[in-house]
Amino acid sequence: MHRSAPRLTRILACAAVPVMLVAAGCSSDDSGSGASASASPSASAASGSPAAPTTSAAPSPSVAPAKFAKLPDACKAITAKTVEDLVPAVKKKSGTPGRSSDLNNRGNCSWNGLKDRGVKGSDYRWLDVSLLRFDSDPTLGSGEERAQEKYSGKVDEAKATEGAIDVRTSPVPGVGDQARAVSYSLKKTDETFRYGVIVVRTENVLITVSYNGTGYAGAKAPAAGDVMEGTVKAVKDAVAAVAAANK
């Protein structure tokens, strides 16, 4: 009961001052927590409270630029000397280019010939080179990574050739960054054709060389080893041609 008079006196005193001062100074006598909760934004800033963090834009992804910016003419990727050695009696020495709407990223060329050996029969040979270049793309990866992803698929395609028998694969050391050889036989037009296929990745470019042949009218089909030896020779030409085109 003795404390009620001072409390009443304080209430009456607060009622006599302006409203603005009441809000600032006439708090409960129990504690100061209410004044703290009603502090103004300017007071919070003055007290050193940290500002809300701002969200910055995420940096754009970057990939290494592709090493090879262009492809050689596919029909010049294999030297005239190699073509002459592998395709005797070649019909068109300059080769037959494949159709492409983007020669800077893909190209193809082939050669074929039938050498008549009289009573010993005829020798048929076919040589084909395919070039595929990959650019670097922030959403797809670097040109080299994209070529690596495609490489295994190309090897699998050769191994899965319809009708192929006696399929064998082996690495090809010292050619490009990755190289795999696939050899097999294929029965066509009652003759046995020997095939050699090599898929090579050199940086961001894939090269596929296919070489095959058979014998007609009594001539024997070429040995599998000889066919693969010719395929290796041609693919080395193509790898060198890609490098030379980008100097």
Q: What does the alpha-carbon distance between residue 194 and residue 228 come to, in Å, rounded to a whole number?
A: 9
pLDDT of residue 37: 40
pLDDT at 101: 83
SS3 135: coil
**35/85 same-domain check:** no
> What is the distance between the alpha carbons of residues 9 and 197, in angstroms, rounded to a whole number?
106
- In angstroms, rounded to a whole number, what is the distance separating the alpha carbons of residues 102 and 131? 11
Return the pLDDT at 68.
98
Residue ranges of alpha helices (H) inside the chain are 4-15, 19-25, 33-37, 41-46, 80-86, 143-159, 224-245
- Output the domain CATH number for residue 197: 3.40.1000
Structural domain that includes position 21: 4-46
The pLDDT score that the predictor gives to residue 28 is 42
Domains held by the chain: number = 2
Q: Does 138 lie in the same domain as 30?
A: no
Torsions phi, psi of 115, nearest 5?
-100, 120
Residues 37 and 82 in one domain: no
pLDDT at 13: 43
Say if 53 falls within a structural domain: no
Q: Round to whole Å and give the CA distance between 231 and 41.
A: 80
Residues 24 and 137 in one domain: no
Q: For tokens 């693969």, what's the residue?
A: 228
Residue 51 located in a structural domain? no
Question: How distant is the alpha carbon of residue 41 from its chain centre?
Answer: 54
| Edge-to-edge order in the sheet of strand 178-188 | 96-97, 106-116, 122-133, 205-216, 191-202, 178-188, 165-171
**Is residue 170 in a domain?**
yes
Q: Does 137 share its domain with 230?
A: yes
Binned average pLDDT, 10 residues per bin, the chain of 247 residues: 44 40 40 42 46 50 90 97 97 95 93 93 97 96 96 97 96 97 94 97 98 94 97 98 97
What is the distance in angstroms between the CA of the first residue and the CA of the last residue of the chain? Answer: 103
Both structure tokens of 119: 């009573």
Please tell me the distance from the alpha carbon of residue 232 to that of residue 230, in angstroms, as a whole number.
5
Task: Compute CA distances 222 → 55, 104, 200, 214, 233, whole Å.
Answer: 69, 35, 23, 6, 16
| Residues 187 and 134 placed together within one structural domain of the fold | yes
Asked if residue 208 and residue 90 are part of one domain, the reply reads yes
Give the pair of three-digit tokens for residue 159: 């191994």
The amino acid at 33: S
127 and 232 inside one domain: yes
Q: Are residues 12 and 122 in the same domain?
A: no
Domain co-membership, 36 together with 117: no
Burial class from Cβ neighbours inside 10 Å (0-12, 13-18, 19+) for residue 226 reads middle
Residue with tokens 């709407």, as numbered in its chain: 101
- 151 domain-assigned: yes
- Is 238 in contact with 86 (CB distance < 8 Å)? no
115 Cβ partners below 8 Å, 6+ apart?
Answer: 88, 89, 122, 123, 124, 125
Measured distance CA(151)–CA(31) in Å, rounded: 77
Query: Is residue 133 one of the residues assigned to a domain?
Result: yes
